[in-house]
Structure 1
Amino acid sequence: MEFLTEYAGFLVRILTVIVLFALVLVLLTAGKSKKNSGLSINKLNDGYDKAKSLMENALLNKKALKAKAKARKNEQKKEKKSPATDKKKVFVLDFDGDIKASAVESMRREITAILAVATKDDEVVVRLESGGGMVHSYGLAASQLQRIKDAGVSLTICVDKVAASGGYMMACVADKIIAAPFAILGSIGVVAQIPNIHRLLDKNNIDVELHTAGKFKRTLTVIGENTDEGREKFKQDLEDTHVLFKDFVASQRAVLDIESVATGETWYGSQAVENKLIDEVKTSDTYIVDQYDNANVFKVEYSEPKSVAERLGLSVLSAVEVKATGWISRVLNSRGF
């Protein structure tokens, strides 16, 4: 009876949660929520100033704090004479690349928004992290960054961890590349790997038919029998892609000895600066903090808005999980497990 009572109570609570969320869903839908368009803009100077002020209040004596306050008032007077709107604007974007460069969908919107207001005196800083991926995907990502250059706006790429292969293809578009000492850069090469199970199928008397129109419509296959001619064509395609990759990097960074670095190798930041793969060894944090005194720094981020149903659906699942976990825990404890 105790078990049934607890189970009934659990079901009532779950039903109550579901009904409440359903009511919220109806109200939000009826009111046509004016949730943001997905674009958020935050002034990083404000957060930095607040943190600095908190540290000063905790560490400095009254005399030192008074001196700081006086200096701050003098700075504010100067700013009134030279309005903050006249300051250089620095726009910070983050690109965290997967194999498909999926983040390009958000980045293209961020760039479009920035270019609507940026002037030739402003700068875009992209904190880039990617080990590379699909050629066409990273080609598009690099082209999106090229839009910034074409608009006459300065572009700086900061790499704290890795910008290799397609990631470096993006980075080389920049006017300036900065990397942390142990960031990994380079890998200017092309690789493809295809498993083949034809012999296993043949051993088990399984036939595979592949029909194509066009001699090289399919060069290598996963389940069919590969030919030497197909292999040679596949290798040639890789070589052609590598040549395009090298030509692109060389056109963007004329200072590079492209043949010496386009071997597929990677270098750490402190080595990459010697090979001219980058311009300076520095973390993105250092570079951005250095901008605060002379520029207004804005973090620009676009995230695809979730529908009301998606947001509430996640909330309902979370509530159900918490309730179910609590009930199961009580039942197991009552039975001595």
Structure 2
Amino acid sequence: MHLIYNYVFFLIKILTVFFILICLFKCQKKEKINSGKMIITSLSDDFNNIKKEIKSLQKKNKKKMFLTSENFIAFVKRKIKQIIHYFYNSKLHIEFQKPVLYVLDFKGGIHAEEVTSLRNEISAIISVAQHHDEVLLRLESPGGTVNGYGLAAAQLQRLRNAHIKLIISVDKIATSGGYMMACVANHITASSFSIIGSIGVCAQLPNFYKFLKKNNIDVESHFSGEYKRTLTMFGENTPKGREKFCQILQDTHDLFKQFILNMRPQLKIEDISSGEHWFGTQALKKKFIDSINTSDDIIQIKMKNFHVLQIQYVIQKKMFFERISNIILCIFHDFYQFFLKFFLKV
């Protein structure tokens, strides 16, 4: 009898641990599904509010002028102009709605993981964009993995496929994979000393074969397919493997050049694909970019004819204690549902 009690007690413990693990897995899945939030900010409204604040301060600091006939006439003229301007703008607002300039930001890392936010932002824009709407992407990236930045460039191509004008502004750097993204734009602008170009492919890895051999350590690697593994960190690399690896790099470089040429046929691709980089003013002469400007200037110019909205898809990172509390609540909720389902059946 004592043995049966021990067995039942042990079984209950196993089931409890198993139940908690299932709940944890479900909670993590829910967190991944609801991990992002879209934030929309009206840059036009922010800019107008700042202008109003500055003007109100200027009015307070104005000295009282002596009332003369000239001052009075100038004052009346100014007020009449303001009234006409107000009614004219009101009429325009009724008859004509401004197109929207959507502002996005992409500050890319080695693996271009920021593409997760970018794809959601682009999907949102495509779903609501009207005729004459435009997109401005503030890009900053030194490049990274081919597949990561290839996907980022493909996401930007979705805007062009949807016939939405894409402007890309480079204030600091867009090289290698970063320029792969930039070249998709209908118009590229960059600041004078931003870094542009570096159209090339590189790869490097250490090799510990001699060190391991010296210390009598053998590493066995088994794989099928002649070129499944060209270079390895722990085995002896062969001239044939090195040659194949360099060929893969060259093929990747050729694909990179062809992609840029398709996007910007005006480039003399063989002259600028040596892996070198240039500053903004130099890049303009080589037709890497279309104009010299900063993103701030572009936004300010566009505000005259566009309503400017900043779109951000923010991935929410929860604090440790918040995650623990959510997991505990999730476990209690699942336990409550389990209790209702199996113990309160009528």
Do they fold alike, i.e. is TM over 0.5?
yes
| Residue number among 260, 265, 276 corresponding to 2:276 in the alignment | 265
- Provide the residue aligned with 1:56 in structure 2: 55
Pair 1:113 & 2:124 matched: yes
Partner Cα distance (2:80, 2:146) in 1: 56
CA distance in 1, matches of 2:248, 2:57: 63
What residue identity is the alignment partner of 1:52?
K
CA RMSD of aligned residues (A): 2.6
- 1:83 is aligned, of 73, 89, 93, to 93
* Aligned twin of 2:192: 181
Query: What's the offset of the Cα at 1:53?
Result: 1.9
* Alignment deviations for residues 240-294 of structure 1 (CA, whole Å, 9 cap, x no partner): 0000000000000011111111110000001100000000010110111111111
Which structure is larger by alpha-carbon Rg, 1 or 2?
Answer: 2
Contact 1:57-1:65 within 8 A present in 2 as well: no
What residue identity is the alignment partner of 1:281? Answer: I
The residue number in structure 2 matching 1:40 is 39
Q: Return the offset for 1:73.
A: 5.4
Counterpart residue identity of residue 292, structure 2: V
Which position in structure 2 is the counterpart of 1:194? 205
The AA in structure 2 aligned to 1:101 is A
Q: CA deviation at 1:122?
A: 0.8
The one-letter code matched in structure 1 to 2:88 is K
The sequence identity of aligned pairs, in percent, is: 46
Q: Does 1:149 align with 2:169?
A: no
**Aligned partner (choices 221, 225, 247) of residue 210 of structure 1:** 221
Distance 1:154 1:131 in 2: 24
TM-score (structure 2 length as normaliser) = 0.75
**Match in the other structure for 1:99:** 110
TM-score by length of 1: 0.77
- Deviations along 1:148-206, whole A, 9 cap, x unmatched? 00000100000000000000000000000000001000000000011111111111011
Q: How much has 1:119 moved relative to structure 2? A: 2.0
User: What is the deviation of 1:83?
Assistant: 2.4
List runs of 5+ in structure 1 lacking aligned partners: 1-34, 316-337
- Report the Cα distance in structure 1 between the residues aligned to 2:218 and 2:35, rounded to whole angstroms: 56
Cα deviation digits, residues 92-120 of structure 1 (max 9, x gap): 00000000101100010000101111123
Q: How far apart, in 1, do the equivalents of 2:107 and 2:260 lie?
A: 21
Do 1:171 and 1:177's aligned partners in 2 also have CA atoms closer than 8 Å? yes
Which residue number corresponds to residue 225 of structure 1? 236
- Shifted more, 179-188 versus 61-70: the winner is 61-70
Which digits, 9 at most, give the CA deviation of each residue in 1:203-237, with x for residues without a partner?
10111111110000000011111000000000000
Asked whether the 8 Å contact 2:35–2:315 carries over to 1, the reply is no
1:29-82 CA-partner distances (Å, limit 9, x unpaired): xxxxxx996011111011111112222233352789999887665444233322
Q: 1:217 to 1:36 in 2, by over 3 A?
A: closer
Change beyond 3 A, Cα 1:75–1:282:
same
Once residues 170 and 153 of structure 1 are traced to their aligned partners in structure 2, the CA distance between those partners, rounded to angstroms, is 16
- Gaps in structure 2 of 5+ consecutive residues: 1-33, 66-73, 326-346
Report the equivalent of 2:344.
none
- Distance across 1 between alignment mates of 2:143 and 2:92: 44
4+ residue stretches of structure 1 with deviation over 3 A?
A: 62-76, 309-315
